[in-house]
Amino acid sequence: MTLENLPKEIIVAVFGLVLIVAGVIFIKNSQTVAPTPEVMGESNQIDAQQIYIDISGAIAIPGVYKMDSQARVEDVLNQAGGLTADADAKYIETSLNRAAKLTDGQKIYVPRKGEEKVQSTGYKAQGKININAGSQAELEALPGIGPATAVKIIAGRGYSRIEDLLTRKIVTAKVFTAIKDSISVW
Classify strands 63-68 and 50-57 as parallel, antiparallel or unpaired.
Answer: antiparallel
Domain boundaries, the chain: 50-184
- The pTM (predicted TM-score) of the whole model is 0.45
Nearest to 166 by CA among 183, 97, 33: 183
The Cα 176–Cα 172 span in angstroms is 6
Average pLDDT over residues 137-166: 90
The Cα 95–Cα 76 span in angstroms is 16
Find residue 130's DSSP bridge partners.
Answer: 184
Under the banding of pLDDT at 50, 70 and 90, the label for residue 15 is confident
The pLDDT assigned to 66 comes to 94
Q: What is the pLDDT of residues 131-145, one digit of tens each?
A: 988 888 889 999 999
What Å distances lie between residue 182 and 16, 90, 121, 124, 162, CA to CA?
79, 25, 17, 9, 10
pLDDT mean across residues, the chain? 80
The Cα 95–Cα 82 span in angstroms is 17
Q: What is the pLDDT of residues 101-115, one digit of tens each?
A: 888 888 888 888 876
3 state DSSP class of 175: helix
Query: What percentage of the chain reaches a pLDDT higher than 90?
Result: 37
From the number of C-beta atoms within 10 Å of its C-beta (0-12, 13-18, 19+), residue 151 rates as middle
Please say if the pLDDT value at position 23 is more than 50: yes
Q: What is the pLDDT of residues 51-95, one digit of tens each?
A: 999 898 899 999 999 999 899 999 999 999 999 999 988 888 877
